Amino acid sequence: MLREWMLRCPLLLEAAGGFVWSERLRDVVITALLSMVPTFEGRYAITIMLGMGMPAGFAYALAVICSTLPMPFILLLLRPVLDWFYTLPIRPVRRFAAWLERRSARKRRKMHAGKGKGVRGWLGRWLSEETLELIGLYIFVALPLPGTGCWTGSAVATLFEMPRLKSAIAILLGNCTACALMCAGTLGVFSFL
């Protein structure tokens, strides 16, 4: 049944000649799980997938889907987990939660303090603060650098108390962009520049 589904999927038909699915299913599962690991995520798993000879369309789709899977859980559960930390009798855990809250509040205040300067001030004439935060979140997730990505972007959105649905859309678009950049870079699209 799995083989029939794989033959009907257009992304998988692309690999009919070079990638033997029945022999490489284990590798596909491993790279799918690697796409869900924090800081590694789909942006780096995509290079491994393409290196194994997976078709680019399938590698891109798998990386985006698998690296986006943890996002809703982080957006929905990080705040209750932090609140639960405050109830624990373990002092270092409570202190960590308080430190995290203070640090995120300080970062957000600092982010809004530069109002009227540079690009932020120029864009601030036409866009609301919430829209600017969402654009910043998108750019943060879209940069394929270590420490940026869906996990960190979801944590930032939760700690900055950004709207969940809009944050999820910005994170998803940023993840799609980051995976596309890594896919293009791995395939050598930028080599002619």
DSSP-derived secondary structure letter, 149: S
% pLDDT > 90, the chain: 38
Co-location of 74 and 93 in the same domain: yes
Please indicate, yes or no, whether residues 61 and 75 belong to a single structural domain of this protein.
Answer: no
Q: Of 68, 90, 122, which residue sits at a domain end?
A: 68
The pTM of the full predicted model, rounded to 2 decimals, is 0.81
Helix, strand, coil percentages in the chain from 3-state DSSP, rounded to 5? 75, 0, 25
Domain that holds residue 61: 2-68
Q: Are residues 9 and 103 in the same domain?
A: no
Query: pLDDT tens digits, residue range 28-47?
Result: 888 888 888 887 888 888 88
Longest alpha-carbon distance in the chain: 60
Residue 43 shares a structural domain with residue 98:
no
Q: What type of residue sits at position 148?
A: T
Domain boundary among 24, 39, 68: 68
Which run of H or E residues covers position 100? helix 91-113
**Residue recorded with tokens 């050598």:** 188
Residues 6+ apart with CB under 8 A from 111: 133, 136
Same domain, 27 and 119: no
Q: Are residue 130 and residue 178 in the same domain, yes or no?
A: yes
- Amino acid 114: pLDDT: 62
- The answer to whether residues 53 and 86 belong to one domain is no
**Tally of domains in the chain:** 2
Pair (100, 176) in one structural domain: yes
pLDDT of residue 4: 55
On whether both 42 and 94 belong to a single domain, the answer is no
**CA–CA distance from 11 to each of 6, 55, 98, 168, 188 (Å)?**
9, 8, 47, 25, 20
Which of residues 68, 94, 122 is at a domain's end?
68
Per the prediction, the chain carries an average pLDDT of 82
Tell me: do 13 and 80 sit in the same domain. Answer: no
Residues 129 and 103 in one domain: yes
Are residues 82 and 58 located together in one domain of the fold? no
Digitized pLDDT (tens) for each residue of the chain, 193 residues in all? 445 544 554 444 444 456 666 677 888 888 888 888 887 888 888 888 888 888 888 889 999 999 999 999 999 999 999 999 999 899 999 999 999 999 988 888 877 766 666 556 666 667 777 888 899 899 999 998 888 889 999 999 999 989 999 999 999 999 999 999 988 888 877 665 5
